[in-house]
């Protein structure tokens, strides 16, 4: 009896690949893979929500069921991203949106996906050498320049600035850091850039890094945070409000309290919800309408959030990420 059972199971397994038959079908549903950098980063959770809302909106518009297949590593891991892209292709995804932790590492996987007929779009962090048909995100060098421009004005053109960066391998962060340095050299001769401080992209690691740097360098009078990781914690900034000027990228709900209490002078909100929404829109347009944007780079403008504009911005945030 046991032998017969084993035989049946073995035959069933062996028969599985034989059941593959050629057939045709009209696409009534689409599965779109979403590979962000890290699940632990709140901005990508906003992107996920944007993608899911776009899936519903566009599904209604075109009369198709759109499913978002979220395949994001827990923490930043470019190799895992490349593997996830390969797995999405094998799982039959119709399109893929990626935010690249390391452009070089995922380029091969993106190209393989495209060669298999799966269109790929990147968001937030691009892979410019790959066969992706479009990229949506912040113009990073310009973002860095804007941070320094605003910070320089707040500091009255003099002082010592530290740059807080996250993953040292992310090309978008490198471009922003370069933007900060270039703008400083160009416009603010009275300001010295102390260094660029990298950290693991978690709020706790970022907050600890700021604390360490401030402890060792009390002469710092300005922070250019090219990502707002420490602001996801409470009481991470130990200085008295106004004594150190700070401009940071991103403006999600937990970060706003630092603006309210004066620890941060300006937040540059990336439209991270739109990363997901717009990526899905680009993919559906490509798959359903066979349309590609006129230029591969589709810019996502930054929103300047100050104490004065905070109320308006919060209304927008309520739509993007309802509490």
Partner 1 sequence: MTSRLRSLFHFQESGLILVIIGLGIILAIFGGTVPKRVVQTLPNGDIEPVMTKNAQGEEVPMVIMRNKFFNPQNLAQLAKDSSFIGIMAVGMAMVIISGGIDLSVGCVFALAAVLAANVLHYYGPTGAGSASPGLGLALGIATCLGVAALCGLINGALVVALRVHPFIITLGTMTIFRGIAFVVTGGQSVTDFPPMLQNVIKHETGEELYLVPSLVMLVVMGLGWIYLQRLAAGRRVFAVGGNELAARFSGIRVERVKLAVYVISAVCAGLAALMSLGYYGSGSSGDADGYELDVVAAAVIGGASLTGGRGSALGAMLGAVVLKMISSGIILLGIDQSYSKVIIGGAVITAVVMDKLNTWLTQRRLSRAAG
Residue whose structure tokens are 């962000």: 36
Nearer to partner 1, 76 or 183 (CB): 76
Quote the least distance from Cβ 148 to partner 1, whole Å: 20
User: Hey, how many other C-beta atoms are within 10 angstroms of the C-beta on 124?
Assistant: 26
Phi and psi based region of residue 137 (left: phi greater than 0; alpha: psi -120 to 50; beta: remaining)? left
Interaction pattern, residues 174-213, with partner 1; x per rule: CB under 8 A: x-----------------------x---------------
With respect to partner 1, which residue has the nearer C-beta, 63 or 92? 92
Q: What residues between 60 and 89 interact with partner 1 by CB under 8 A?
A: 70-72, 74-79, 82-84, 86-87
> Which H or E run includes 225?
strand 222-225
- Tell me the window of 49-57, 98-106, 213-221, 251-259 that interacts with partner 1 (CB under 8 A): 98-106
Query: Residues 162, 47, 272, 115: is their CA dihedral positive or negative?
Result: positive
Inter-axis angle of helices 310-320 and 253-260, nearest 10: 170
Q: Which helix (H) or strand (E) element contains residue 218?
A: none
When computed from its CA atoms, the radius of gyration of the chain, rounded to whole angstroms, is 23
Smallest distance from partner 1 to CB 269, Å: 25
Give the 3-state secondary structure of residue 34.
strand
Q: Which stretch binds partner 1 (CB under 8 A): 110-118, 147-155, 272-280, 314-322?
A: 110-118
Among 59, 153, 160, 169, binds partner 1 (CB under 8 A): 169
Q: Which positions lie near partner 1, rule CB under 8 A?
A: 9, 12-13, 16-17, 19-27, 39, 70-72, 74-79, 82-84, 86-87, 90-92, 101-105, 107-109, 112, 114-118, 167-169, 174, 198
């Amino acid at each position: 009896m046991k032998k017969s059972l084993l035989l049946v199971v073995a035959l069933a397994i062996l028969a599985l690949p034989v059941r593959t038959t050629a057939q045709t079908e009209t696409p009534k549903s689409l599965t779109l893979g979403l590979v962000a950098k890290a699940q632990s980063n709140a901005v990508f959770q906003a992107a996920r929500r944007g993608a899911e809302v776009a899936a519903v909106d566009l599904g209604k518009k075109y009369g198709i069921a759109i499913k978002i297949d979220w395949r994001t590593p827990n923490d930043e891991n470019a190799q895992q991203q490349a593997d996830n892209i390969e797995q999405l292709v094998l799982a039959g995804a119709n399109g893929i949106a990626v935010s690249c932790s390391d452009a070089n590492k995922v380029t091969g996987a993106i190209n393989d996906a495209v060669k298999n007929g799966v269109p790929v779009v990147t968001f937030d962090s691009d892979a410019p050498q790959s066969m992706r048909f479009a990229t949506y995100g912040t113009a990073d060098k310009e973002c860095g320049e804007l941070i320094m421009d605003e910070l320089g004005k707040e500091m009255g053109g003099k002082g010592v600035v530290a740059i807080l960066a996250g993953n040292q391998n992310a090309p978008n962060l490198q471009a922003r850091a370069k933007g900060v340095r270039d703008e400083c050299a160009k416009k603010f001769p009275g300001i010295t850039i102390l260094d660029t401080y990298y950290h693991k992209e978690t709020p706790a690691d970022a907050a600890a890094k700021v604390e360490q740097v401030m402890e060792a360098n009390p002469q710092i009078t300005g922070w250019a945070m090219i990502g707002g990781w420490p602001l996801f914690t409470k009481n991470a900034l130990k200085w008295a409000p106004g004594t150190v000027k700070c401009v940071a990228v991103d403006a999600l709900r937990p970060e706003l309290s630092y603006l309210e209490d004066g620890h941060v002078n300006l937040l540059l909100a990336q439209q991270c919800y739109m990363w997901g929404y717009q990526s899905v829109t680009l993919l559906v347009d490509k798959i359903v309408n066979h349309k590609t944007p006129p230029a591969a780079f589709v810019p996502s403008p930054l929103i300047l959030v100050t104490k004065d504009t905070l109320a308006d911005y919060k209304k927008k945030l309520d739509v993007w990420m309802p509490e």
